[in-house]
């Protein structure tokens, strides 16, 4: 191990002191005293360094908090509600989409772009269980939408029917009772061309 300049100087002092006749315990005491002083200095330096680190960490935390607060502020600015666009109804003309299945009937009234304005179902009108798919339920659905259709100013309707339920015809007829003229009726029931493999027939 290579010795430092200070250690070399201390060894030289020891040798000189031994030549002069000073006792060894005095030399040891002086070296121990110097070591304790050096240790104190090192401890103080370490304390100062740790304090500086803590200050730097606190400054970093403050900066992070400020940045986060700025980000949240920008998010709030971004989250402004957009103005609702007026429905695209050319001359009071809209669309009525009737979905009639074996379990339920759903009617949704849209503008000419297909954006849904109002909707209603058999369950919403208070029907439960097998009564939801009845023709009577389909008629009451259209009647429940009558006031809202008048408020929107819809006078003519293009009807799009989907499904094979029993409420499809009665829903179209009910549109006439609320003074809404049916311009066209289009069947958009999906038909498989090949499609999925059917279930095997039951053996009775």
How far apart CA 154 and CA 94 sit, in angstroms, is 6
Query: Each residue of 15-64: pLDDT tens digit?
Result: 665 555 555 555 565 666 777 777 777 788 888 887 877 777 777 777 77
pLDDT band of 70, cuts 50, 70, 90: low
Contacts of 143 (CB under 8 A, 6+ apart): 174, 177, 178
3-state helix, strand, coil in the chain (%, to 5): 50, 15, 35
How far apart CA 162 and CA 145 sit, in angstroms, is 19
Query: What pTM was computed for the model?
Result: 0.56
Query: Each residue of 158-176: pLDDT tens digit?
Result: 999 999 999 999 999 999 8
- Beta-bridge mates of residue 161: 98, 187
Place of tokens 């006439």: 176
Place of tokens 């070399």: 8
* Closest C-alpha to 122, from 96, 109, 108, 140: 140
How far apart CA 88 and CA 85 sit, in angstroms, is 9
* Closest C-alpha to 169, from 145, 137, 193: 137
Token digits of residue 114: 């297909």
């Amino acid at each position: 191990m290579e010795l430092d300049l200070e250690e070399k100087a201390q060894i030289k002092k020891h040798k000189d002191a031994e030549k002069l006749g000073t006792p060894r315990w005095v030399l040891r005491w002086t070296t121990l005293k110097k070591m304790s002083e050096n240790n104190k200095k090192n401890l103080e330096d370490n304390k100062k360094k740790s304090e500086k680190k803590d200050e730097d960490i606190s400054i970093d935390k403050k900066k992070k908090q400020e940045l986060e607060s700025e980000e949240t502020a920008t998010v709030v600015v971004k989250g402004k509600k957009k103005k609702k666009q007026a429905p695209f109804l050319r001359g009071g003309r809209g669309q009525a989409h009737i979905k009639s299945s074996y379990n339920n009937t759903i009617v949704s009234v849209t503008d000419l772009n297909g954006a849904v304005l109002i909707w209603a179902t058999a369950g919403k009108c208070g029907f439960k269980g097998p009564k939801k798919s009845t023709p009577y339920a389909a008629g009451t659905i259209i009647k429940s939408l009558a006031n809202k259709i008048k408020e929107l100013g819809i006078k003519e309707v293009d009807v799009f029917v989907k499904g094979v339920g029993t409420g499809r015809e009665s829903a179209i007829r009910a549109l006439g009772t609320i003074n809404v003229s049916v311009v066209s009726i289009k069947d958009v029931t999906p038909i498989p061309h090949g499609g999925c493999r059917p279930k095997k027939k039951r053996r009775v």
